[in-house]
Structure 1
């Protein structure tokens, strides 16, 4: 290499180095560039609206035993209802500051989009199409379900594979209808769908014996069985034909509100793992030495204010209706008429293990 070429190369490398240093200096000194990389403020228009009105509007099932129903005094009760009350306690400090809005399957997403409700807690399966096309976001899973079949014991069936040629009651325009069609087609079996416009119509058709089997989420089948004149004469077959992750749904446009609903649900799941209950939450907040428990209950850290809530937001939610296990047992588990096993809804470290896993609150 000639001296002239060598000198040119040295000058070019030096110029590049100066250019990189100058660019870095300019970026560091440019306040607009810094603002573009800063984390956005955590602010929820939905939360602001709830605080102004002093009430949470929660969409629920119009009547499903164990999940959302009114008792003989007109009070709302059930698994999903308890989560609505816990959310109201978390954001407003009052579990009774909630208005329950009963919705059919066809009404639920429009009610969210229109702002009629703040959150939908109505046995709704998390699917790709719903997030992509309905303008909603799922904030988590509070019940891992699956679709199955209920039949009369007099048919003496042991498996859904024996339903070839059967009449199957199913709700129209639902994931249940699609799952039944997929399951029979994949196995080369024939069936005749008896489609109802809503869940009530489907249950009535099965009760009239218009069909041989009723197909729905297993939790819904268990609830339906309790309403029949002779529940013991009906059996839920062992076959599970789909995965149905059920959970709270919110509008797509408010990411901060999605996080608030997600972390409130998570707080109830984590509370069970940490042994925090409605009865001992106050005591543990004052006496526990476990950092995870203290953060959850607001005894240390600033977790609640990060979400725009009080420091004791999670403690309020837990004290309202109990931890996840308490809510499950009381409404759909062994302390309820449904008597459903925890199964996939057991804690991840239980024996046998389930899917419920408390994310770290820190």
Structure 2
């Protein structure tokens, strides 16, 4: 039998934590705008276009979340964050969610007071080099100067890889990725290391893209995904189930163009996902059409991928690990049932 003192303490704790569970959702609704933390400039993931409009996979996730929560994908303000200030910005409440291609690791889950969401892009740390060097393997960079961004997992992994393989790298550390890119393309470093997808984006906008190559070899796992604050379970669930919904929509053949038509169909998966049955939105404090609004705004996961980083986008990446599980990839949505 639970002692009265322990029971009272448990009830007091529940009373103090319960209001915080819906804090971010309530704040966003009252404000009428989602504040989304993104990168300051990664082609394919988050980068302002010539009109200053943010484009990319991460920013599409922000728009999908705004559509799901507020019913309007335009009700989002993007805050560009660096590797150094991204987690602090989320912890302090400067942003409501971090959608900034951030690697999920044990220490980030266990020590910084944040909640990791589902992986929305499977990546690996790679290297970009000048084509004229004739380098095809990381081992051939022994003794090379390597441009790397400060405060990233890449900085740690670079050292780990060097020690494990008896290599000597000379890191040249930069506070911001954009200054790192400038230095590398100016010839300050022999190579540059970052997520392979980010390197592909950087090379695509280099002064002479044909002069550079991203090595096929990667030296790490870089599972990228959103972060939310601990102690706000409802908001974290919304962010997590948004991703699962976008993947489930692709699995079910629900697209930006046919979503409204699918609402009227007989497919039970589509009915639950799009709000025709099941009250799935209301269980999260949202309208039951929340996923319908999200898909109508940006499309399903496959559409987001292809438009921003796939064959129809700037980076021309293969789906690879980011393909659906039914097609050899790792994208596997937890079922809506």
Are 1:329 and 2:301 counterparts? no
Per-residue CA deviations over 1:320-351 (Å, capped at 9, x if unaligned) read 0000000000000001121011110000001x
Residue aligned with 2:170, SS: strand
Contact 2:96–2:228 (CA under 8 A) maintained in structure 1:
yes
What's 1:172 paired with?
Answer: 150
What are the within-5 Å matches in structure 2 for residues 149-164 of structure 1? 149-164=127-142
Distance 1:191 1:171 in 2: 15
Distance 1:88 1:343 in 2: 28
Find the partner of 1:295 among 266, 272, 276. Answer: 272
Residue aligned with 2:218, SS: coil
Per-residue CA deviations over 1:275-316 (Å, capped at 9, x if unaligned) read 0001101001112x2211110011111111111111111111
What's the TM-score once normalised by structure 1's chain length?
0.87
Distance 1:108 1:151 in 2: 28
Are 1:344 and 2:328 counterparts? no
Q: Per-residue deviation at 1:158? A: 1.6
Distance 1:216 1:107 in 2: 18
What's 2:4 paired with?
Answer: none
Are 1:309 and 2:283 counterparts? no
Question: What's the C-alpha RMSD, in Å, of the aligned pairs?
Answer: 1.8
Find the partner of 1:357 among 321, 332, 335. Answer: 332
Q: Per-residue deviation at 1:173? A: 2.5
| Higher-Rg member (1/2) | 1
Residue aligned with 1:149, SS: strand
What's 1:29 paired with?
Answer: none
Q: Per-residue deviation at 1:133? A: 2.0
What's 1:64 paired with?
Answer: 42
Q: Provide closer, same or farther for how the CA distance between residues 41 and 193 of structure 1 changes in structure 2, counting only shifts above 3 A.
A: closer
Q: Per-residue deviation at 1:172? A: 2.0
What's 1:144 paired with?
Answer: 122
What's 1:16 paired with?
Answer: none
User: After the TM superposition, which parts of structure 1 deviate over 6 Å for at least 4 consecutive aligned residues?
Assistant: none
Q: Per-residue deviation at 1:56? A: 0.6
Distance 1:58 1:172 in 2: 22
Unaligned runs of 5+ in 2: 2-7
Distance 1:251 1:155 in 2: 45
Residue aligned with 1:357, SS: coil
Distance 1:346 1:227 in 2: 26
What are the within-5 Å matches in structure 2 for residues 194-233 of structure 1? 194-233=172-211
Distance 1:131 1:116 in 2: 20
Q: Per-residue deviation at 1:41? A: 7.5
What are the within-5 Å matches in structure 2 for residues 1-362 of structure 1? 43-287=21-265, 289-350=266-327, 353-362=328-337
Residue aligned with 2:172, SS: strand
Contact 2:115–2:230 (CA under 8 A) maintained in structure 1:
yes
Per-residue CA deviations over 1:143-201 (Å, capped at 9, x if unaligned) read 00100111111011121111111111111232101111111111111121111122112
Residue aligned with 2:189, SS: coil
Unaligned runs of 5+ in 1: 1-22, 24-31
Contact 2:65–2:294 (CA under 8 A) maintained in structure 1:
yes
Distance 1:79 1:309 in 2: 23
Contact 2:150–2:174 (CA under 8 A) maintained in structure 1:
yes
